[in-house]
Structure 1
């Protein structure tokens, strides 16, 4: 077990606990799913920059989703969830209306405006947004107001490795192939990985996976090579709506809280953050999300817990049990000897 996971209290600085001194601020991702348009630019940019192999183009029978989940060949996965609910009707009670009542008029217009009012620009290590040459777009329903979208809504979200504060994959790796970087992210060294697969079962999110051809584990590196050159990760650089925002984690958390308040005031009552809490079962994620529905809707576990969280207490209990067994055995032996 690594030093950074010896005690499972909150860790404000996992890089320092891993042995890095004079390191930069911890960085990560804030993914605002309310402005994701499902373009998959992040998936393409990730594959191109990191030379991630093609994982096939199979629609899987699930909307426009052709990857299905994160894996060794999908370090970014854009989920598509279609729901028979209108945009802005998530929880009308927050807008001062009875729950379930239609959101119309000024409330509907404020929802549409809130979804458009999203700051652009990368984090402190980033550069100016990329012009991908894409045509201009409007969110569905923006032209007529949220009340004009009566049939369904799309929930789209770009998923990625969470770079957990308490990373189970780090705990169980027997070769040291996984390590904590000076930026607080978790990286797999493929040339050291022996393909044992322990990290796969240790990830509470089901992120890390092994490739079929060589059996080694692969996942998002937070573009570690780009960070060392002062650049933001490729996926955040390519995102045309800044749904994926990159920067110092503390700043992202504050920005995310303000965004949730903005959406709540606009009537989007189901907006909530996922993975930002340092007191959760993984000590907080280095990649967290603003969601418009329950985590399960997006394929995320509602209450993730690092599997190795109780490893220390388990070893202590095992030691106590072993000691009691030795004492009992010795007593029985001595008792027979006295007779």
Structure 2
């Protein structure tokens, strides 16, 4: 994939920001998540996100079930048998969020410029510019973005862009009582995550793994990545996400060539008809 080869891009500079600050992001350590949902509540309160998840779903304690226009943070509850084979059960909990991808397909397909890359490297939707076309919804490889039923516009996590401008951390990270959600410069978080992973492996947690941290993966690395205790699919995450617009340049080239060929054929037929 030529799109993802070479050094990791400076996404803010590439978006036109002059002398941007270091790229920031989230590192979510699911090994210390207690499922308190403080992040969900803080996100809704700060961003005035409408209430949801108040109905009984039958999905254990996971009342919101997935990310969406009215759930910018979603705490997953997964009950499973313990891997040590003792027959006991365990809970896996993880607070999911928009990944703020390095190569964000939602940006590629937005026709109005509603979606934009901030100076912090994050991806934000400007709801006053969104026309509700919905192109970004299927473009997201994580199924994060959704249109709100009430107004038809797309909504998702902004990483509290307004708070960042005032030097504050996002509301979800501020509210997390166990530091499961950590916010800061992305490179610093990656180093911290690698150290934490090594600690868990030494402690015998062999299934622990990092997800979304690698700049050479299918989306060029995520601005929000995770330490998981099981396979990504267990948490409802795609195992090998790929930027859905990776083939767009080639498709446009082929479309252009086809159009030129068609135009040439029509011109030739027209000239032949005139000669006759």
TM-score range, shorter chain: over 0.9
Deviations 1:228-266 (A, max 9, x none): 111110100111111101110001111111111111121
Deviation at 1:58, TM superposition (A): 2.2
Which of 1 and 2 has higher RCO (CA within 8 Å, sep 6+)? 1
TM-score, length-scaled by structure 1:
0.77
CA RMSD, Structure 1 to Structure 2 (Å): 1.8
Deviation at 1:328, TM superposition (A): 3.9
TM-score, length-scaled by structure 2:
0.93
Equivalent in the alignment of 1:299: 236
2:33–2:93 contact (8 Å) kept in structure 1:
yes
Q: Which has the larger radius of gyration?
A: 1
Alpha-carbon spacing, 1:337–1:191, altered in 2? closer, same or farther (3 Å): closer
Give the Cα separation in 2 of the matches to 1:58 and 1:166. Answer: 36
Deviation at 1:215, TM superposition (A): 0.8
Deviation at 1:66, TM superposition (A): 0.5
Partner SS, residue 309 of structure 1: coil
Structure 1 residues without counterparts, runs of 5 or longer: 1-5, 90-101, 103-148
Deviation at 1:334, TM superposition (A): 5.1
Partner SS, residue 43 of structure 1: helix
Does 1:280 find its partner at 2:245?
no
Deviation at 1:54, TM superposition (A): 0.4
Match of 1:237 among 169, 174, 198: 174
Does 1:219 find its partner at 2:156?
yes
Which structure has greater strand proportion?
A: 2
Matches within 5 A, 1:21-32: 21-32=18-29
Structure 2 residues without counterparts, runs of 5 or longer: none
Equivalent in the alignment of 2:95: 158
Deviation at 1:59, TM superposition (A): 3.2
1:15–1:180 contact (8 Å) kept in structure 2:
yes
Deviations 1:104-128 (A, max 9, x none): xxxxxxxxxxxxxxxxxxxxxxxxx
Give the Cα separation in 1 of the matches to 2:222 and 2:28. Answer: 12
Partner SS, residue 51 of structure 2: coil
1:59–1:65 contact (8 Å) kept in structure 2:
no
2:4–2:216 contact (8 Å) kept in structure 1:
no
Equivalent in the alignment of 1:139: none
1:210–1:217 contact (8 Å) kept in structure 2:
yes
